[in-house]
Amino acid sequence: MNILVIGSGGREHALVWKISQSPMAETIYVAPGNGGIGDLGICVALAVSDHDAVVTFCRENNIGLVVVGPEVPLVDGLVDSLDAANIPAFGPRAYGAQLEGSKGFTKDICAKYNIPTAAYGRFNDAAEAKKFVHEKGVPIVIKADGLAAGKGVIIAETLDQAEAAIDDILPSPFGAGKFGQAGAELVIEEFLVGEEVSFFALCDGKNILPLASAQDHKQVGEGDTGPNTGGMGAYSPAAVMTQDMTARVINEVILPTVRGMIAEGHPFKGVFFAGLMITKKGPELIEYNVRFGDPECQVLMMRMKSDIVPALLACAKGNVHQIDMQWYDRPALSLVMAANGYPESYDKNTVISHLEQAGQGDDITIFHAGTKKENGKILAVGGRVLNVTALGDSVTQAQEKAYAALDKIHWPGGFCRRDIGWRAVAREEERREEEK
């Protein structure tokens, strides 16, 4: 079948890479794609926000499945339009996409259906928000309600920081806040102590197919310092997700959400990407995303042994629980190379070279994100630009392979964190010491 993938990032490159391995996939179209996807699929200029144009393209090109990668078109209702045209699509409709599109919506669902999460309040008035902060104390978490590309979360250590975050996010008489419309409302919640982890499960509206866990590194600086980003690296699986903890996440978080969305009259189809804090009490939901993570998708696709296309189709058509999903036991780790200055302003159109040499080897794959190909050269055009991804017999080995590959890339305009996977590497070192 012909498949259309929507998106341009590293997540979409990883999805196209995996889909291209399926015997079910014939021609793969990608809208708009990036500088590295062209070897696997046909990049097309398609106005994704024009739903009629997308439907017309699907009909003209005999598309059997649309895979919507990013969150914005999901929140915008692209899947609703495709459903109305009887075109199978992977991803939730707009109502379900609110689980990512509105943090307040998700918190309210958690409260209504007894899903463990941090205590919270919703505010569009700065004075009321500041009053709440003073009542609860610090540290405390301030979040823009809407989509902010992974950057709309501030952990305030002091009352001054909390008040500054509130003033930055909420609109004022002088205009919109730092995150625009995404900050028209904010959510303030208690600071949870524990280890953060991501867990993924597919859903067809009624049934689920658990996938795998991952752990990402959101902050720009080493040692998890500095402002939040869309993600600076990830690895899978996460050791904190034992069999027992996985069962608890499924039974206490994922399945109650499935039942809750059914009760709301809007069954959820797509992927649950649960951002969790594993606390002393057990798993607590920090937030939901309704698409594969980025860079978590890259490590999941590297570890996925099974054909992904039947699973994506089953999400759209039903019986996803009948899919047998097999995984490689070996861990995967992905490093993000970002443009100097990210997550603030950065230069564009800087040249990247030596990618072919860096990507050699069965266990190494370089996924492109913010790149374009021009006159035979790869140019950096985004903030997060490349994902150097490796498989290893341990996280430590995967980390070593990924950095060895990354160090072959010539790109003076970019940088990366040098400590991706540090928690898992430390655990493995402790285990080796104990075994001596």
The phi, psi pair for 267, rounded to 5°, reads -55, 140
Specify the range with the lowest mean pLDDT, choosing from 92-96, 174-178, 275-279, 403-407: 174-178
Q: Domain check: are 300 and 417 in the same one? A: no
Identify the pLDDT of residue 281.
95
Q: Domain check: are 140 and 203 in the same one? A: no
The three-state (H, E, C) secondary structure of 261-312, written as one string: HHHCCCCCEEEEEEEEEEECCEEEEEEEECCCCCCHHHHHHHHECCCCHHHH
Q: Domain check: are 315 and 337 in the same one? A: no
Identify the pLDDT of residue 368.
98
Instruction: Please state, in angstroms and rounded to a whole number, the distance separating the CA atoms of residues 205 and 108.
Output: 20
Q: Domain check: are 346 and 418 in the same one? A: yes
Identify the pLDDT of residue 165.
92
Identify the pLDDT of residue 172.
83
Q: What is the CATH number of the domain that holds 80?
A: 3.40.50.20
Q: Domain check: are 214 and 307 in the same one? A: yes
The reply to whether 173 falls in a domain is: yes
The reply to whether 176 falls in a domain is: yes
Identify the pLDDT of residue 72.
96
Give residue-wise pLDDT tens across range 234-261: 999 999 999 999 999 999 999 999 999 9
Give residue-wise pLDDT tens across range 34-45: 999 999 999 999
The reply to whether 119 falls in a domain is: no
Q: Above pLDDT 70, what percent of the chain? A: 100
Is residue 203 over pLDDT 90?
A: yes
Give the number of C-alpha atoms closer than 13 A to the C-alpha of residue 181, restricted to the C-beta side: 3
Q: What share of the chain is helix, strand, coil (3-state, %, to 5)?
A: 35, 30, 35
Q: Domain check: are 209 and 275 in the same one? A: yes
Work out the widest C-alpha separation in the chain, in whole angstroms: 65
Identify the pLDDT of residue 325.
96
The reply to whether 435 falls in a domain is: no
Residue 353, number of CB atoms within 10 A of its CB? 12
Please give the tally of structural domains in the chain. Answer: 4
Identify the pLDDT of residue 169.
92
Domain that holds residue 141: 125-184
Q: For tokens 């606390």, what's the residue?
A: 279
Identify the pLDDT of residue 355.
97
The reply to whether 95 falls in a domain is: no
Identify the pLDDT of residue 373.
95
Q: Domain check: are 8 and 67 in the same one? A: yes
Q: Domain check: are 200 and 298 in the same one? A: yes
Q: What is the CATH number of the domain that holds 349?
A: 3.90.600.10
The reply to whether 386 falls in a domain is: yes
Give residue-wise pLDDT tens across range 309-329: 999 999 999 999 999 999 999
Q: Domain check: are 299 and 343 in the same one? A: no
Identify the pLDDT of residue 436.
76
CA distances from 214 to 229, 333, 425 (A): 17, 9, 14
Q: Domain check: are 276 and 350 in the same one? A: no
Mean pLDDT of the chain: 95
Identify the pLDDT of residue 176.
82
Give residue-wise pLDDT tens across range 125-154: 999 999 999 999 999 999 999 988 777 888
Total residues found in the chain within this entry: 436
The reply to whether 104 falls in a domain is: no
The reply to whether 100 falls in a domain is: no
What is the mean pLDDT of the segment spanning 380-408? 98
Q: Domain check: are 407 and 298 in the same one? A: no
Q: Domain check: are 214 and 283 in the same one? A: yes
First to last CA, the chain: 54
Identify the pLDDT of residue 407.
97
What is the mean pLDDT of the segment spanning 96-124? 96
Q: What is the CATH number of the domain that holds 139?
A: 3.30.1490.20
Identify the pLDDT of residue 181.
87
Q: What is the CATH number of the domain that holds 283?
A: 3.30.470.20
What is the mean pLDDT of the segment spanning 294-323? 97
Is residue 174 over pLDDT 90?
A: no
